[in-house]
């Protein structure tokens, strides 16, 4: 049973009662992430996420963790480009404790100067760890290739310089601006008393307000034609390729997800079978969609010996071209729909996954996406719709890319990447 309501202060609350489980997941979603930032305060959203765990007027940092973990629960948080989420999963008898802890972190965190300085060192180490991961470096680099100077391309962790610059006053002011009920959602999924849930949420979040409000409104960034390379002394060359995608909230998103799954979503996909199984050029290759507010992209990732890079990209281009021209057979469409429905339903087997799904949907779309709704949308996908979405996305071919590694033939790759695909025409771009 789903319910969506709003408190007097503008806070949206989405609840899903699941009577047959004995757990409950609670999440506080805030429409604030690295996309809300600028180059001067890049990383502040992620920094604030960390600071909420460093102690309140009522609990030390250890007590925040202990009061949940001592009853067998889990507490954590994450920051993305467009949202931050703080969440607890526990036995259903500890629902009120979960709400108490999250609200205590939100309203009563101390942000002591000493803790801020300590956390700067922790996050700088996190940045260093990310720099040691070619996949992380590649992801941040490709964001710049796709969106250039728009805020959506900023790294979630920020930079060492920006992290070092954060002050308590800056943090408190930022929280009062973006951590507001109008930008937020409480998502609860699991076993609870439906008759009492609104009163319980009101008890802990009903007095939430701010006088320095900044309602989140994201830009509509242009998708650029850029190819960026970053040298890193590693064995393999890591490659991320970009194709125009679909924005969050579009009805075409499910059709694109189906196309992406067929093209590069698993071991039976076109890319995996052609480039790994048939040609043996790489160990890992896959495609996935990145959908955001007002923009989206289809990514293709692979890592391989640099000497195979040109061959692999040429083959990817060739397979994209074939995919656009040939589409999907009726038999494959039926199987792809079942695969998409199965992966979605299997992904909702826990209260936490349902809390995440409901919270994100209400935060960005202001509505609940039920499994029944989504399955109906998948069932309605037909060849005509797929062709329409194909022309918006895959038919444009490769329009941007990023490379992390060394020993690449820039001239050869530039020639490949500027080759016209299908009917799309763009300004020639070069590796820089």
Q: What are the phi and psi torsion angles at 135 (to 5°)?
A: -65, -40
Helices (H), 158-300: 160-165, 168-178, 197-205, 253-264, 270-271
Q: At what angle do helices 113-131 and 168-178 cross, to 10 degrees?
A: 80
Query: Given pLDDT bands bounded at 50, 70 and 90, which one contains residue 347?
Result: confident
Q: Which residues pair with 304 in a beta bridge?
A: 237
Dist CA 355 CA 25 (whole Å):
6
Residue 90 tokens read as: 């526990």
Q: Give the whole-number percent of the chain exceeding pLDDT 70.
A: 97
User: Where do the domains of the chain lie?
Assistant: 2-205, 227-417
Q: Which residue has the tokens 């729909």?
A: 337
421 half-sphere exposure, CB direction, 13 A CA radius: 28
Judge whether 2-205 and 227-417 match in fold.
yes
Dist CA 431 CA 338 (whole Å):
40
Dist CA 325 CA 395 (whole Å):
9
**Do you know the residue count of the chain?**
432
Q: Compute how many other C-beta atoms are within 10 angstroms of the C-beta atom of residue 342.
A: 10
Model pLDDT for residues 177-207, shown as the tens digit of each residue: 999 999 999 999 999 999 999 999 999 999 9
Task: Indicate the average pLDDT of the chain.
Answer: 93
pLDDT computed for residue 284 by the predictor? 96
Model pLDDT for residues 11-53, shown as the tens digit of each residue: 999 999 999 999 999 999 999 999 999 999 999 999 999 999 9
Element (H, E) at 95: helix 95-108
Planar angle of CA 305, 309, 312, nearest 5 degrees: 110
Model pLDDT for residues 61-112, shown as the tens digit of each residue: 999 999 999 999 999 999 999 999 999 999 999 999 999 999 999 999 999 9
Active-site residues, by number, are 49
The topology (CATH level 3) of 227-417 is Cytochrome Bc1 Complex; Chain A, domain 1 (3.30.830)
Q: Each residue of 105-116: b (16+ CB within 10 Å) or e?
A: bbeebbbeeebb
Dist CA 3 CA 362 (whole Å):
11
**pTM score above 0.95:** no
Superfamily name and number for 2-205: Metalloenzyme, LuxS/M16 peptidase-like (3.30.830.10)
Q: Give the whole-number percent of the chain exceeding pLDDT 90.
A: 88
pLDDT computed for residue 417 by the predictor? 84
pLDDT computed for residue 34 by the predictor? 97
Query: Given pLDDT bands bounded at 50, 70 and 90, which one contains residue 420?
Result: very low
Contacts of 115 (CB under 8 A, 6+ apart): 51, 54, 55, 61
Whether the per-residue pLDDT at 430 is higher than 90: the answer is no
Model pLDDT for residues 107-137, shown as the tens digit of each residue: 999 999 999 999 999 999 999 999 999 999 9
Whether the per-residue pLDDT at 426 is higher than 80: the answer is no
Mean pLDDT calculated for residue range 300-310? 96
Listing DSSP states for 128-186 in one string gives HHHHT-HHHHHHHHHHHHHHTTSGGGS-TT--HHHHHH--HHHHHHHHHHHS-GGGEEE
Specify the range with the lowest mean pLDDT, choosing from 12-21, 134-143, 216-225.
216-225
Model pLDDT for residues 158-180, shown as the tens digit of each residue: 999 999 999 999 999 999 999 99
Of the candidates 103, 152, 166, the residue with the CA atom closest to the CA atom of residue 290: 152
pLDDT computed for residue 416 by the predictor? 85
């Amino acid at each position: 049973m789903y319910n969506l309501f709003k408190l007097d202060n503008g806070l949206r609350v989405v609840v899903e009662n699941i009577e047959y489980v004995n757990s409950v997941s609670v999440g506080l979603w805030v429409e604030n992430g690295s996309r809300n930032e600028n180059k001067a305060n890049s990383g502040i959203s992620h920094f604030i996420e960390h600071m909420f765990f460093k102690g309140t007027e009522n609990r030390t940092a250890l007590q925040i963790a202990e009061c949940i973990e001592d009853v067998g629960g889990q507490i954590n948080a994450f920051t993305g480009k467009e949202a931050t989420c703080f969440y607890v999963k526990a036995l259903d008898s500890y629902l009120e404790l979960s709400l108490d802890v999250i609200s205590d972190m939100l309203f009563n965190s101390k942000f002591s100067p000493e803790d801020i300085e300590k956390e700067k060192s922790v996050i700088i180490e996190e940045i260093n760890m990310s720099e040691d991961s070619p996949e992380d470096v590649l992801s941040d680099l490709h964001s710049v290739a796709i969106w250039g100077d728009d805020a959506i391309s900023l790294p979630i962790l920020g930079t060492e310089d920006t992290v070092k610059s954060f002050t308590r006053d800056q943090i408190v002011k930022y929280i009062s601006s973006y951590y507001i009920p109008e930008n937020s959602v409480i998502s609860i999924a699991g076993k609870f008393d439906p008759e009492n849930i609104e009163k319980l949420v009101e008890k802990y979040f009903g007095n939430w307000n701010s006088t320095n409000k900044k309602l989140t409104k994201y830009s509509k960034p242009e998708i650029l034609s850029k190819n960026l390379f970053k040298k890193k002394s590693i064995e393999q060359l890591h490659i991320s390729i970009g194709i125009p995608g679909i924005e969050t909230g579009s009805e075409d998103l499910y059709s694109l997800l189906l196309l992406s799954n067929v093209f590069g979503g698993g071991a039976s996909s076109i890319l995996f079978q052609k480039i790994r199984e048939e040609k043996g050029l790489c160990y890992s290759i896959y495609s996935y969609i990145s959908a955001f507010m007002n923009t989206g992209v289809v990514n293709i990732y692979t890592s391989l010996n640099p000497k195979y890079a040109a061959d692999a990209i040429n083959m990817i281009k060739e397979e994209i071209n074939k995919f656009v021209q040939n589409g999907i057979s009726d038999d494959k469409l039926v199987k792809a729909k079942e695969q998409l429905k199965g992966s979605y339903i299997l992904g909702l087997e826990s209260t936490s996954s349902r809390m995440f799904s409901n919270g994100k949907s209400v935060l960005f779309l202001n509505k609940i996406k039920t499994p029944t709704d989504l399955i109906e949308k998948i069932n309605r996908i037909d060849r005509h719709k797929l062709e329409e979405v194909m022309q918006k996305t895959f038919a444009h071919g490769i329009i941007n890319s990023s490379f992390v590694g060394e020993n690449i033939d820039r001239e050869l790759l530039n020639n490949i990447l500027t080759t016209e695909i299908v009917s799309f025409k763009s300004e020639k771009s070069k590796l820089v």
